[in-house]
Amino acid sequence: MKSRAIQTGFFAVACTMAAVQTQAAPVDFSNLVEQVSPAVVSVNVVKKMTQEELLQQQIPEILKRFFGNQVIIPQQQAPQEKTAYGSAFFISKDGYLLTNHHVVEDASKVTIMFNDRRELDATVVGSDERTDVALLKVNGTNFPSLRAGNVDQLRVGEPVLAIGSPFGFDYSASAGIVSAKMRNMMGETSVPFIQTDVALNPGNSGGALVDSRGALIGINTAIISKSGGNNGIGFAIPIAMVQDVVTKLVADGKVTRGYLGVAIGDVDNELAKVYKRKEGALIVDISADTPASKYGLKRGDLIYAIYGKAVKDRTSLQNTIASFKPEEKIVLQVERDRKDIDLNIVL
């Protein structure tokens, strides 16, 4: 028994040593930062202050304490300007950059700054509030740019790197992992966000999220935090969605989307017993005088594919429909009364 106890003890020690030896070494991002950071810039924006912001400036602090914000200021002042900051990155050598819509919204002037302190005025080519994507352009050539990665191949748990200008501190890098994919944030259903645990702060908006190979996988756009700081959950717009928006902004300066005219839901466990499939977008309601009503969609229809491409859920349907232009013809694969039918619809 004594000998067996010694052997058991030795086995436990050996297992512990093996665990220590096989523990993964920390990921070194230094080479990746050197590779990616030249394509990332700071964005300085001049905006006109809103009426509410002007009132906040005008109300004396002592009145705020007693009356809150319900103080009426009789005189009107001329609109004033404020400065804001964010991040952006080059996607082409001829001067196109991506940032967030909310970074440059209502901007009267946009300036980008490189890590060598050079500054260039930027033009807002176009901006899309729905996806929170904006396209900028500066004059020049041979800018360092990022190459797009494949979000479909991105795995949960994979290391990622964010570079931006949190609180105006240029070229700050923070690392983490992919926490989830296809995440809807705060009821938002139009963007299948990449969720990360990367530390993000004000100023990181519009910065690049890259994978361990240096490929661009998303635009950092938001963080949910109870503290108001980086102790929270970060979200990035997938580059695959951004590419479609960029194509439309370059062509037209704005984004137009196909419209179907339906209210939709997902297939839960109970509905999966009624339908032949566990995935798809369920038609809950149809608006009058819309393509859906005109071309024969019905409540209870389950859209499971468009042109043979699978529709997994309502977000998948919304994004696919939005990728088409108005007046385009599409073919929906629909399950109705447990039978599969095709519907031709002009958006």
Backbone dihedral angles phi then psi of residue 205, each to the nearest 5 degrees: -55, 130
Contacts of 27 (CB under 8 A, 6+ apart): 159, 175, 212
pLDDT attached to residue 115: 86
CA 133, CA 92: separation in Å to the nearest integer? 16
Digit-coded pLDDT (tens) for 133-157: 999 999 999 999 999 999 989 999 9
Residue whose token pair is 């919204």: 105
Report d(CA 219, CA 242) in Å as an integer: 8
Question: pLDDT digit string (tens) for 287-325?
Answer: 999 999 999 999 999 999 999 889 988 888 988 898 888
Pick from 85, 88, 116: nearest CA to 100: 88
Those residues of the chain that have pLDDT short of 70 are: 1-26, 50-79, 185-190, 225-232
* Catalytic residue IDs: 102, 132, 205
Four-residue CA torsion sign, 285, 291, 293, 297: negative
DSSP strand pairing (119-128 vs 107-113): antiparallel
CA atoms of 219 and 25, how far apart (whole Å): 28
DSSP element (H, E) containing 244: helix 239-252
Cα distance between residue 136 and residue 150, in whole Å: 23
The total number of residues written for the chain in this structure: 347
